[in-house]
Structure 1
Amino acid sequence: MVEFDNYKLVDKGVCAAKGFKAGGINVGIKPGSKKRDLAVISCDTKCTAAAIYTQNKVKGAPIIVTKEHLKNGIAQAVIVNSGNANTCNSNGIEIAEQMCELCANELGIDKNDMIVGSTGVIGQKLSIDPVKNNIKTLVDSISEDGSSLACEAIMTTDTRKKELAVEFTLDGKTCHIGGISKGSGMINPNMATMLAFITTDVKINAELLHKALKRTADITYNMVSVDGDTSTNDTLCIMASGLAGNKEITAEDKDYEVFINGLYAVMMNLARETARDGEGATKLMECVVDHAPTEAVAKSVALSVINSSLLKAAIFAADANWGRILCAIGYAEGDFDISKVEVVLSSSKGSVKVCENGAGVDFSEDEAFKILSEDEIVIRIDMHDGADKSVAWGCDLTYEYVKINAEYRS
């Protein structure tokens, strides 16, 4: 995990923030599976809440229901299942609403204060029975130490939990932001994770909470790509209990920036872990673009490089095929001078310059192979054409990616 000054990494994920509890159990959403597949996050009080969603025109039923419930900017709990996306189903909205109602009744809260999410196979009907028959057990699983249980319950092809929290001081009060996230495949920079849930005890109004979430997502989750596929169920939600006791943030002032930086510390690390855990991945790729003419160009170049299947395959093989980087830069949107571009490949084993002024330079293939054989690879692109920069994250393309997706429904 990347650490930040003034933001201390702490345990307990979504339960680190005051007022929040979580839990997760197995209810048999996917027959034969023994992993946890139903999660809940709840708060002792109603929260200011905001969310952003997939840009795919096909949207899972839970997104439609959650959008409606969050129109007033208020939420108190989340229920989410894995194993079935509840997407493209004729009764999907009915099922999502029933999930909310069942959980709300057991928690003793308003069903309209529920956020609902689903992830898994698209186009298969989701029965309400596993949820209905186990809702009391789910709510009974809730505790202040339940973040990891909830995190496990939202995983599908993920190989590791994505869970993080930070502690910091704001307005003289000790505050927290925590999150859990899932995503391994169908990850593309259009709200680029399948599901992520963030909690905080900072007091902030709904308008600025949404603005902070969108601003931070644009430089974290929206800068991640595993395979170029945008999911139908991408949902990123945040709930703010306000129980830290700080003066409510109502303007884009110093306290707002402290909050934004804490949110970035959590979301950047979760986004990075999403890329690291790409389906079949063996390496995390980070593309750093510097001295670009505009931020838009910097983002476009970084994402173009991260999305290149040819480059991803070369990185898997530890092959310093830098021409694939230049090719990807060349079809990025925006106006810039390719003849000024410099490229350096680096890892914990060192760095090697492979391109300068848009042309190749002599380098040791053996040294490059050693550098690219590590599990974290940084591609540094200096455009020598301005002052803007951007960072994107991705992973290598392996044989295992094809195997996982060829057998996904079996």
Structure 2
Amino acid sequence: MEDRIGKYGRSLEGRDRATPVILPVVSIFPLRKTLSYIARAACLLAVFPSPVARRAWRRTLLLPEPRLTPHRSPFFPVFCFLFSVSFSGCGAPGDPAPPSPTVPVAVYDLVARQAGDGVELLFSLPSRTVLGEKLGTAPAIEIVRGSLKPSGAPDPQSFRAVYTIPGALVGNYFAAGHVRFTDPISPLETKTHPGRTYAYLVRTRLSTKRASPDSNVVTARVFPVPQPISSVRPQGTETAVNLTWPAPTETSAGDPLSGISGYHVYRGEIDPHAPAPTSKELSGTRWVSPPMLLGPATTNSYSDAQFEFGKAYVYLVRTVIPADGGEIESDNSEPVTVMPVDTFPPAAPQGLVAAVLPGATRSAFVADLSWSSNLETDLAGYRVYRSEQEGARGELITPDLLPVPAVRDSTVALGHRYWYTVTAVDRAGNESGPSRPVAVDIAEPPS
């Protein structure tokens, strides 16, 4: 026992007393922090290699005293420093990591259909990330096109990104709550491979590092279509906007066309002060309401009676032909913008009659006038004119428009004859012609 005491510099009893000093340290502090303390102590030994410090260090760790003086390498301090840095840190639980890129959720409602010489894609734009957070800006959109395997299933190896829409330009393709994008297909390619099937998916991204998950995969078959209608001629009337156009005779690839089913007429609304669209692609057009199907036409003409004066409308016409058990449309015609202006006055009032009634005094009289109501829906009111000369309109005796078809004139004078006429005025300020005149005699009372 004495040998052991002399050899190791302390008794087993002392070792037993020292053991609990280390155990709480290891159990209380995390392993990383414990190694940090050991590394710092090792550095102290390297910098201050005194025998007293070395003995205190070894006793703390319960290490025996060496029998021989160890050879100290000149690289030992460097090793201690690196050991200390790698385990000490700065009190943080771990090294800082770069923020994860924002990843939108996948598009889930992608649909595709042939639209003229191309495939139109329609889908909702993601509004949240995969972590459920709200997106602050519109993400960029990647349009990915592929083909099918011989089995008819989409071939994952064939998909390639064919278009990228920057987030700042997504608004140009946004209408009615959805993104609407058309992938153009060459008419010559469709002529060579009529009925070819194209597969699509879309992705969105806010970072170049990571895109959203892929959307659902959709397919569309593409067939030859008629050439776009070259021009649409509008003519405005009081009750309708009449449209006419020439019937197409060829496909977009130049082949003879036969079997037209009819036409589809579309109408959108823009701000009256906004520039009119000049391209049939309509990209960048700011719509008050986007083009919607107004109605079908069996001939090359259409009358739109559901319009309002003062609004700006954009009309498009597409030719319809049968294909693949259904119908497909040509590309848009050249757009035509029409802003109907109300220059059409109401009809002249009818049924004007007059009577002379007693006034407030014995010598006073009033001319009581009434007529039939006009039936115009945009009627604003009536004006009454009085003249002392037959055939002349005379003076206006109602500065404000009359809302009802009746009035009393209390400014008549005894012994005079008056001719009255009435006009109707609409909300656009158009005034009708005069009604048939009616004469009123204000006779003097007998003496």
Q: TM-score range by the shorter chain?
A: under 0.3
The answer to which structure has the higher strand fraction is 2
Bigger relative contact order, structure 1 or 2, given CA contacts below 8 A and separation 6+? 1
TM-score, structure 2 normalization? 0.22
